[in-house]
Structure 1
Amino acid sequence: GNLFNLITFTSRAIPKISSITDIYPVADFYEREIMDLFGVEFEGHPKPRRFILPDNWPKNVYPLRKR
């Protein structure tokens, strides 16, 4: 198989980036994990719902985002 290491940057004020799930469906879980823990929005993601954090987790609180 192939191993990819993708590095990209986004704005801290508006953390949005295009989803790659249409090209690599396996990216679904990684993108949802990043959404939960860092608060980055993946535009075009087919299932942008919580993955790790519980449903009652406070909005706009991202445990791994630097302040």
Structure 2
Amino acid sequence: MLLAAAGTAYEFARAAEPVLRPLVDGQVSTLADLAAAAGLEAADVAAVVGDLLDGQACRVPKVTHCL
């Protein structure tokens, strides 16, 4: 699947759609929540989100507490 954000086109496997959809919709999600929704390992989700963070296509909100 193709995602265009922050002036860059990102190509991801179709399996990444459940990870990307909440982010595109502006939902605040944890890596664990995204991994569970997609049926993927947290490390795989972190790689997808890391690519978007590197390209400034998403951001990490200010952390006010730890879980």
TM-score of the aligned structures, taking structure 2 as reference length: 0.35
Larger RCO (CA under 8 A, 6+ residues apart): 1
Q: If you compute each CA radius of gyration, which structure gives the higher value, 1 or 2? A: 1
